Amino acid sequence: MNTRPEIHFFIGKGGVGKSTTSALTALFLADSGKNTLLVSMDPAHNQRDLFEADFSEKPKQVVQHLAVKEIDTAHWTAKCLKETRENIRKTYLYESAFNLQDHFKVLQYSPGLEEYALLTAFEDVLGRASDKDAVIFDMAPTALTLRFFSLPNVTLVWLNHLLTLRRQICQKKEIISKIRIGTCEMERDRIKEKLKILIGRHTCLRDRFLSEDSRIHLVMNVDRLSFSEAVRIKQRLADIRIDIDRVVVNKTQPGKPLGKLPETLEPHRLAVFPLASGTLVGLQAMQEYLEAQPESFADLLKRPLSTGQGS
Ligand SMILES: Nc1ncnc2c1ncn2[C@@H]1O[C@H](COP(=O)(O)OP(=O)(O)O)[C@@H](O)[C@H]1O
Ligand SMILES: [Mg+2]
């Protein structure tokens, strides 16, 4: 039993082929006997079109060794809101004094909620994936995906700051209580404990993104807009010390040169996925593609390179 599956994220500009290349890779891994889960994190949920099947939160077996599931963002957002409300209620017993009811009403419009919901769903997927060898994530549009990857970092900055503030408050409370009732021991502070749990949770998530068995594949096409967006994505991820594993140049055409890849995209990380001659929809078309392009998958799945930024 594998307790820590390898993870592959497919990210990139809309329309470049994230859903297609992630589905193909999932099929390739399943074909090679790896117990694989393909997860659609993009609310557009194109996997159902590619596999011509209905998917939901419950993984559905599509071929031997491959199950597919869709993240229901609305479900995870509602769950996160409910948990936040309960946590605030439990932590602040003096709820009415702060008029928290009004706060709860606007919580649903909070910035960050969408990526928080996605991150919670991601944690849940991994928590249930101990029987998997590989989990493939077909990611949401770029802006949301970048916020998803940076959320643990951003949250840790806030949490550590809050913990420092809370420690200062506790020290002051302790001084006052010593003066008033002469006790030396303060009872354990509930808020401090909660903050420490959250710090542990977000540290795990951040470390998972940085770990060697999480591999991010940046999908692009051979055109200038796609090049530019890929460079920006790579830079934004490098800012939070996350490295790209492969640059997947998808829909290449025979006889049409790739052009000069920007240096930042590190040409040695390329995996080329040629344009299929027909429509790449449905199991049969995808299986035919796998058979015709084994070297694309060999390049994509090579073990992480030792050279390159941040590694
Ligand atoms: N290698 C390929 N060969 C032929 N068509 C492709 C290939 N990759 C993607 N496509 C087509 O390009 C379109 C966009 O692909 P899709 O995977 O939905 O992109 P994304 O998920 O990045 O938005 C779809 O019509 C898909 O069938
Ligand atoms: Mg897609």
Residue of 232, 169, 250, 163 whose CA lies nearest to 199: 163
Q: Which sequence spans correspond to the domains of the chain?
A: 6-72+112-160+213-301, 78-107
Residue 85 clears pLDDT 90, i.e. is over it: no
Mean pLDDT of 163-188: 74
Out of 89-103, 185-199, 264-278, give the one with best mean pLDDT.
264-278
Residue 3 clears pLDDT 50, i.e. is over it: yes
For the 6-72+112-160+213-301 domain, the top CATH level (class) is alpha beta
Going by pLDDT thresholds of 50, 70 and 90, the confidence category of residue 306 is: low
Q: What are phi and psi of 199, to 5 degrees?
A: -65, -45
Angle subtended at Cα 310 by Cα 306 and Cα 311, rounded to the nearest 5 degrees: 25
Residue 277: count of CB within 10 angstroms of its CB: 10
Distance CA 91, CA 97 (A): 13
Ligand 1 atom closest to Cα of 275? 3
Going by pLDDT thresholds of 50, 70 and 90, the confidence category of residue 308 is: very low
Distance CA 84, CA 94 (A): 16
Residue 16 clears pLDDT 90, i.e. is over it: yes
Q: What's the whole-model pTM score?
A: 0.90
Chain segment 254-269, per-residue pLDDT in tens: 887 777 777 778 878 8
The residue whose CB lies within 8 Å of the most ligand 1 atoms, and thus the one to mutate among 10, 20, 48, 51, is: 20
State if residue 18 touches ligand 1 by the CB under 6 angstroms criterion: yes
pLDDT score for 210 = 92
Residue of 248, 239, 288 whose CA lies nearest to 266: 248
Residue 171 clears pLDDT 50, i.e. is over it: yes
